[in-house]
Structure 1
């Protein structure tokens, strides 16, 4: 079969895989040219189930919160609206959190989308490039008068997820099989996701910490990032926050702002 016909067949075959309303493509046939509608339907179901399983593996806390039946139904709708664009299954589902935020039957769980965002960030941190984290000694060696000009180079695994709900608490409570007590999810929480060595770590950032970490990760010098954090949160504790970020492995190195 010429390459152009190969592509034409593949496109026609794939077109209906995620749409149960479509009949089997006319070019799909069984032995002796017989219709292959049933065979195609079985294959289509297997593709859908594989994608649902991939989403369940990426978002285990979301599935535990909703229950398997609710999760499978929600995942089916997402799969039909956002088919995969990469052959790598761990890359699938990047839009799932946004879909959850719009999904009619998830509106009673307004924090669920942010839990999904933390889970996606966890997976991305897990697959991020390895890098040695910055040691506390690196900051201690900088002269006091140059601290405000310091630029922090973010670790490849660094992720920050901000939430108007207690998404970090809900995430942590649902990532294993231990019983979950009732959680008041109304308190805003921001998540810091890092992987300084082999294990991904999710921490709840202190007040002003998300603004501070985001500004540093974007390349803003320490002085400007601290000022932005103080504007957002008058109780921002600079020493506590910078110590926590370094201990978490959020950065790999330091440069002076005028030396970049």
Structure 2
């Protein structure tokens, strides 16, 4: 019953009063419509605020007025329909025609996904200390749930972290502890990380990197040090 009523309210807010079932609210039609308008305005404002909080750097890059205009278009065009406030930014970056802003919004969205990802202990280099070569290469490995990779089309990396080089074109988002870290990586490293969505022996990842990277072992060590893998 509650789900049905909520669906009816959502349909009314999205498509108009003709979708409001008779008897859902007490009072005459004018009073009900006034209440729905207030409710719709409140939801609309909450969605705009959620977008501002999800993309603070993109907002700063575009300026308040332009960001607000684009946010309103996104909400009015149904881009936020059916989404919770925490998920409202999904797809917002794809609506941006400014290349720098689109890249920055995609990066901020992945930062949030990394931040809210499932908890899991990160594999550390200390966990590998003392292992013989065979045991090391057979060590089960899998990407950390918070690890995300992003290919950039512009020089926005320093806007996320001033320590990142402007020429960085592939970013890795990790959260080995409480804080999200952003690391510049090679595209070949990102491809190997994609293979590690399922558990694989560490040796397989090193071999995969060796084909496209001058030193696969060192690259894997750098990923472990960054917190890119889950301790399994």
- Normalising by the residue count of structure 1, what TM-score does the alignment of the two structures yield? 0.71
Could you tell me how far 1:241 is from its partner in structure 2? Answer: 1.8
Pick closer, same or farther for the CA change 1:123–1:222 going to 2, 3 Å: same
1:121 lines up with 2:110 in the alignment:
yes
Counterparts of 1:230 and 1:172, CA distance in 2: 29
Counterpart in 2 of 1:245? 223
Could you tell me how far 1:227 is from its partner in structure 2? Answer: 4.0
Could you tell me how far 1:143 is from its partner in structure 2? Answer: 1.7
Cα deviation, 1:146-195, whole Å, max 9, x if unaligned, reads 4444431332222222223334333335xxxxxxxxxx96x452111111
Counterparts of 1:121 and 1:204, CA distance in 2: 14
1:69 lines up with 2:65 in the alignment:
yes
Could you tell me how far 1:46 is from its partner in structure 2? Answer: 1.8
Counterparts of 2:95 and 2:51, CA distance in 1: 13
2:28 to 4, 10, 33: 33
Could you tell me how far 1:53 is from its partner in structure 2? Answer: 0.8
Aligned residues: 227
Cα deviation, 1:197-255, whole Å, max 9, x if unaligned, reads 11111111146322233333443433443344344x4x54324322221221222325x
1:169 lines up with 2:153 in the alignment:
no
Cα deviation, 1:95-142, whole Å, max 9, x if unaligned, reads 223333xxxxx2xx2243332222222222222233332221222333
1:98 lines up with 2:94 in the alignment:
yes
- Normalising by the residue count of structure 2, what TM-score does the alignment of the two structures yield? 0.78
Name structure 1 gaps, 5 residues minimum: 101-105, 174-183, 255-260
CA contact (8 A) 1:24 1:41 kept: no
How do residues 1-260 of structure 1 correspond to structure 2 at under 5 angstroms?
A: 3=1, 9-18=5-14, 22=16, 33=28, 35-36=30-31, 37-79=33-75, 80-86=77-83, 88-100=84-96, 106=97, 109-172=98-161, 187=167, 189-206=169-186, 208-231=188-211, 233=212, 235-253=213-231
Counterparts of 1:29 and 1:134, CA distance in 2: 54
SS of the residue 2:220 aligns to: helix
CA contact (8 A) 1:54 1:89 kept: yes
Could you tell me how far 1:196 is from its partner in structure 2? Answer: 1.5
